[in-house]
Amino acid sequence: MKILIYGAGVLGSYLAHALIRGGNDVTILARGKRINELKNNGIVIRHYFQLKTTIDKVNVISTLQPEDTYDIIFVVMQYQQSQTVLPVISNNKSKNIVFVGNNPNVHSFQDYLNKNSGDQKQVAFGFQASGGRRENGRIITVRAGGSMDIGVLDGELSWSSLIEKAFKNAKYKLNFNDNIDAWLKSHMIFVLVLAYVTHACNGNFRKADRKLANQMVKALDEGYLMLETLGYTITPLNIANFVRTDRHKFLIYLLLKIYSITPFPRLSDPLTMLDETIALTNAFYDLKQKANIPTPNWDALENHISPKKNLIGS
């Protein structure tokens, strides 16, 4: 299948690798110095836990013209970045679009495309379970097997067979989700609290003490309560229930300590995602205003973000 990956960062590069290995005709849209990195060297990925490096040759483009048609376009970038490419996507003739990454505003994305696309698009939203960072032109990826939670806003993903076909030989698991909006909003709560805690201890989780761990648990509870007040079902529920249980506080402190000695904080570092953290925090404010409930622990934790430029509530 003819596939475009729009965004050549950490997650987009891994997705492109998986789809190329699955036998698809993959093009990647890059910008800046990443264009030449990809043209000269291909997609170079160090698979951290798998102890291997892969190189994949890929077609590279730097702009998407209205007539460039693909079977599926995956937009894989930070939340605030994917908002900026909506006009380009709506002007393009391709019908099937999947936005991959954090996104607390899926309805506004869908509405924008419904209003502004000449032809009706099929839009899905996904979240790929992998992480990593960029280093000297290569991607260091941390993952188990490749996988993505994916769903649409109006119930069932009627074009799931097309997506399944793309991943058929890709050794990649698709988890179809019938409430992806709630999934992404629940995930945003977790991602933001983790980002605030990272800022609070300046990226060094060894510095995290019990007070910070307790504040983290309370802030998660406030965030989930805010979503529940607005009628969202927290998903996945078992993880949320675990962190919200008072007697698990010490266990969560221990988990934070264990996390500090794993490679994850170093390889998948929220400090490098400050713009997205700020954009997601602003989306949280919008929801909080609607819910109209106090979130004192959340607010205290969020105060650790630095610098606070562009933050609505600062």
Compute CA distances 269 → 202, 220, 299, whole Å: 11, 19, 21
Q: Which amino acid is at 313?
A: G
Judged by CB under 6 A, which of 4, 18, 19, 29 binds ligand NAP? 29
Which residue, 63 or 161, is less far from ligand NAP as judged by CB?
63
Q: How many CB atoms lie within 10 A of CB 10?
A: 23
Round to whole Å and give the CA distance between 30 and 9: 8
Round to whole Å and give the CA distance between 143 and 150: 17
Residue 90 found at the interface with ligand NAP (CB under 6 A): no
Residue 64 found at the interface with ligand NAP (CB under 6 A): no
Rg value, the chain, Cα: 20
Residue 84 found at the interface with ligand NAP (CB under 6 A): yes
Contact stretch for ligand NAP (CB under 6 A) within 1-9, 232-240, 241-249, 300-308: 1-9
Residue 18 found at the interface with ligand NAP (CB under 6 A): no
Judged by CB under 6 A, which of 70, 74, 79, 109 binds ligand NAP? 79
231: alpha, beta or left, given left = phi > 0 and alpha = psi -120 to 50? left
Phi, psi (5° rounding) for residue 42?
75, -170
Site for ligand NAP in 251-270 (CB under 6 A): 268
Judged by CB under 6 A, which of 54, 81, 214, 229 binds ligand NAP? 81
Minimum separation from the CB atom of position 9 to ligand NAP (A): 2
Site for ligand NAP in 123-162 (CB under 6 A): 131-132
Residue 11 found at the interface with ligand NAP (CB under 6 A): yes
Site for ligand NAP in 268-297 (CB under 6 A): 268, 273, 276
Contact stretch for ligand NAP (CB under 6 A) within 24-32, 107-115, 238-246, 281-289: 24-32
Judged by CB under 6 A, which of 34, 95, 121, 199 binds ligand NAP? 34
- Enumerate binding residues for ligand NAP (CB under 6 A): 7-12, 29, 31-32, 34, 76-79, 81, 84-85, 101-102, 131-132, 268, 273, 276
